Chain A
Amino acid sequence: MVDIAYGPDPGPRLDPSRRDTAYLQMVRRKRMYGGILLVLFVALMASGFGVAESRNAGGFLDGLRQLDDFPAEVISEAWRNRAALPGLALQFLPSLIETVNIAAVSTLIGALLASALALLSTRDLARWPRLTPLFRRMMDGMRAIPEIVIALVLIYILGGGPVPAMIAIAFHTSGALGKLFSEVAENADLKPVEGLSSVGASWFQRMWLGILPQVAPNWTSYALMRFEINIRASAILGFVGSGGIGYDLKLAMQWGQGRYDQVVAIFLLLFATIVLVDQLSDRFRNRLVKGAR
């Protein structure tokens, strides 16, 4: 921390023989730097918020006053039709299953691709050590492209439906997971690999029998975390253009008044699914990583 306070320049150093003044000086200096940073940060936030508000259609305070208008309208309409809610929830269940399926398949395919990419780009494990930078840059690129970009282009080619969203999410997932997987694989113990290669195992056998058993718990835990994220992503992509419950939500929202009971049914389904998956995966991940049965 002292280094941070002084910066890299070798400026006037403290006189260590007079410890009390030296310490006070350091504290003062640190406080000054901290204060400057804080003022800068506050100024940045305030001016940024000002710009964002000026480019927004509605102002902040006006919006705050009518913040509960829309939820109140929606909920009151849904409350009047509360008897229909279970039926509506049942009606949208297939779309919900589609959304969850998109997330699950894309996590699965993404994780498979990611494990190959991760092993190929980890030092000491790579099949072709010279190509590791190539695979790393590939993962960086895949991670950087937001799902929506790929999804919208694929909708143009493949038409609507769940497949564009699935491919888009799987593509992004393999980049994101690949990086995390490779960090785990880097810390794997190499002794089993050496043992296996001494008996003439091929690269695939070395990875399958020597590395995978070591990294499987952490990899599964990361993949589960990604599954949570992907359910949200799949709902959003549906809203922007593809299949699943997001698309139903968009249709109901476009209809507006008169279908707010549908909106509420979809909200509730989505909320319940996200919370349920979060809780389940949280519990399962704890068991995986901490090893408690």
Chain B
Amino acid sequence: MTAIDMTLRHDVSALIARKRRMAFLVPLLLVVYLAYIFVAFDLPGLASRARIDNVGILLSDFWSHKTHVTRDNRSGDLTVAVEGESKGEYPPGLSPDWVSQQGDATLIDLGAGHLVTYTPDAAAYEIPGYGTIAVRPEGNALAVDLPPGPVPDWINQSATRISVTTDQGRFAYTRSKVEVFRYEAGWELFFFTLDSPFYGKGPLELAGMALWGERVDPERSNLGYMLSEFWTNKMWHHGDVAWALFETVLMAFLGTMGAGIVALPLAFLAASNFTPLRSIRFAFRRVFDFVRGVDALIWTIILSRAFGPGPMTGALAILITDTGSFGKMFSEALENIDEKQVEGIRSTGANSLQRARFGVIPQVTPVLLSQLLYYLESNTRSATVIGAIVGGGIGLLLTQAIITQKDWEEVAYYMVLIVLMVMAMDTLSGWLRRKLIKGEPVRS
């Protein structure tokens, strides 16, 4: 065995030993770190803080709606309203077919045999398989007649209120009012609100009205009326939501493209083959680093103080942050160009501007465009978050809907729209990238 063999053997076994140690150490470090996080983020305490019942509320509210049937016990007025909102109130004389009047009594059919009856000064809930719960006020308290036997845990009772929750709905009686919630699948009033002449009509009937029906409003065609009723829907605000989506895309577009326009000339000043002066180069690079390091969050805060809330502020915040990223990437692309083409242009006597236009720009365009389009897509997502801070676009609508903690079907609607918007921008930017730049897109 020669000396070379010996050192080789030694090297190889040392390498293997090192790899073995790494294969053991890296997972160990990860586990230790995760254990630290487990303690630092107080994961054991999370179980007590989490409100799991909220999951149920969320999941059912995402795809269903509830209709409130409320009677004011003092005035005796009965209101039927979708989600209990005044915008979704049924006008007098119109009520869903499961609410009916018989003399003084109001019958509410919750389905599956569950029947609630409001009589003046009393109410009763008939539950199949259990019996009838009758409630009437007695002085300052409530007198409740329950079927014999132990009180089940879905009946919540105190001296002044009783609430009953079943699979079919909820019933609540207090001294001031009696209320029934009925849950139904679907997003009610999504197309037309109750005051619209098109409410409650099926798609075929609507199509018929649009194509050959009598004009509901003699001033305009049925189709135009329908579109305007849909656009100005008071529950879902389709028009405002569309504007908000447009604002978000606009923020991303203006910010990304504006950043590209600002960054391109600056990138020439930061590229070593165009700016021989080291100090200028250094200064511009530091400017890019600074702008990137300050981060979109801080720019957003500073700008929203000066420009007030709105989409332009968001666009400017994206513009400033991305100027830093683009400046860095563009100057790197400029440093990597092929000098031969510039030489060729120079030999024809072109000045520096012409050399840049005909020798450099055609070379870097594919890289630049691909970066711009890639950022356009990712900025659509950022614009949602920035919109929540500067108060513009779909981000604002989403945070507002979540803060109220009751319009979860609207939250679900916005979430679907945001995902669709981002996916559409992703597809669009991918399509443009393939169209404008033949070959593989460049990604840093």
* Cα separation A145 to B414 with both chains bound (whole Å): 11
B110 beta carbon closer than 8 Å to chain A: no
A156 beta carbon closer than 8 Å to chain B: yes
B388 interface neighbour in A71, A145, A240, Cβ under 8 Å: A240
B25 beta carbon closer than 8 Å to chain A: no
Interface pair A153/B310, CB less than 8 Å apart: no
Interface locus among B74-82, B294-302, B341-349: B294-302
Least CB distance from B138 to A in Å reads 39
Interface-centre pick from A57, A60, A69, A235 (highest chain B CB count, 10 A): A57
A55 interface neighbour in B303, B306, B392, B422, Cβ under 8 Å: B392
Contacts of B315 in A (CB 8 A): 49, 52
Count residues of chain B with CB under 8 A from any CB of chain A. 62
A232 beta carbon closer than 8 Å to chain B: yes
Interface pair A49/B254, CB less than 8 Å apart: yes
A to B contact number (C-beta, < 8 Å): 172
B312 interface neighbour in A52, A144, A149, Cβ under 8 Å: A52
Contacts of A105 in B (CB 8 A): 33-34, 37, 41
Interface pair B302/A56, CB less than 8 Å apart: no
B415 interface neighbour in A63, A66, A145, A278, Cβ under 8 Å: A145
Contacts of B389 in A (CB 8 A): 236, 239-240
Contacts of B292 in A (CB 8 A): 274, 278
Contacts of A274 in B (CB 8 A): 292-293, 295
A56 interface neighbour in B42, B49, B311, Cβ under 8 Å: B311
Interface pair A275/B253, CB less than 8 Å apart: no
* Cα separation A222 to B200 with both chains bound (whole Å): 53
B311 interface neighbour in A55, A59, A153, A275, Cβ under 8 Å: A55
Contacts of A158 in B (CB 8 A): 46, 49-50
Instruction: Identify the closest chain A residue to B415 (Cβ).
Output: A149
Interface pair A57/B307, CB less than 8 Å apart: yes
* Cα separation A118 to B297 with both chains bound (whole Å): 31
* Cα separation A249 to B294 with both chains bound (whole Å): 14
A49 interface neighbour in B301, B312, B388, B405, Cβ under 8 Å: B312
Instruction: Identify the closest chain B residue to A232 (Cβ).
Output: B295
Contacts of A98 in B (CB 8 A): 40
A87 beta carbon closer than 8 Å to chain B: no
A48 beta carbon closer than 8 Å to chain B: yes
Interface pair A56/B312, CB less than 8 Å apart: yes
Interface-centre pick from A66, A156, A253, A275 (highest chain B CB count, 10 A): A156
Least CB distance from B6 to A in Å reads 24
Contacts of B46 in A (CB 8 A): 158-159, 161, 163
B54 beta carbon closer than 8 Å to chain A: yes
* Cα separation A104 to B302 with both chains bound (whole Å): 27
A152 beta carbon closer than 8 Å to chain B: yes
Contacts of B298 in A (CB 8 A): 267, 270-271
Least CB distance from B46 to A in Å reads 6
Do A56 and B411 contact each other (CB < 8 Å), given the known contacts A49-B312, A157-B52?
Answer: no
Interface pair A156/B254, CB less than 8 Å apart: no
Interface locus among B142-150, B155-163, B218-226, B394-402: B394-402
* Cα separation A58 to B294 with both chains bound (whole Å): 23
Interface pair B411/A153, CB less than 8 Å apart: yes
Interface pair A70/B305, CB less than 8 Å apart: yes
Least CB distance from A28 to B in Å reads 16
A199 beta carbon closer than 8 Å to chain B: no
Least CB distance from A146 to B in Å reads 5
Least CB distance from B32 to A in Å reads 12
Least CB distance from A277 to B in Å reads 10
Interface pair B307/A63, CB less than 8 Å apart: yes
Tell me the B27-60 residues at the A interface (CB within 8 Å): 30, 33-34, 37, 40-43, 46, 49-52, 54-55, 58
Contacts of B395 in A (CB 8 A): 148
A232 interface neighbour in B49, B257, B297, Cβ under 8 Å: B297
* Cα separation A66 to B426 with both chains bound (whole Å): 36
* Cα separation A53 to B310 with both chains bound (whole Å): 8
A157 interface neighbour in B55, B294, B399, B422, Cβ under 8 Å: B55
Tell me the B385-431 residues at the A interface (CB within 8 Å): 385, 388-389, 392, 395, 398-399, 402, 405, 411, 415, 418-419, 422-423, 426
Known: A57-B309, A70-B306. 12 other contacts (CB 8 A): A48-B254, A56-B312, A66-B306, A101-B41, A140-B426, A146-B384, A149-B418, A156-B402, A159-B49, A161-B42, A236-B297, A253-B301
A residues near B, CB below 8 A?
41, 45, 48-49, 51-53, 55-60, 63-64, 66-67, 69-71, 98, 101, 104-105, 108, 140-141, 143-149, 152-153, 156-159, 161-163, 166, 232, 235-237, 239-240, 246, 249, 253, 267, 270-271, 274-275, 278
A-B contact pairs, 20 of them (CB 8 A): A45-B258, A55-B310, A55-B311, A56-B307, A57-B308, A58-B308, A66-B306, A70-B306, A105-B34, A140-B426, A145-B415, A148-B399, A157-B50, A157-B52, A162-B41, A232-B297, A249-B297, A270-B295, A271-B294, A271-B298
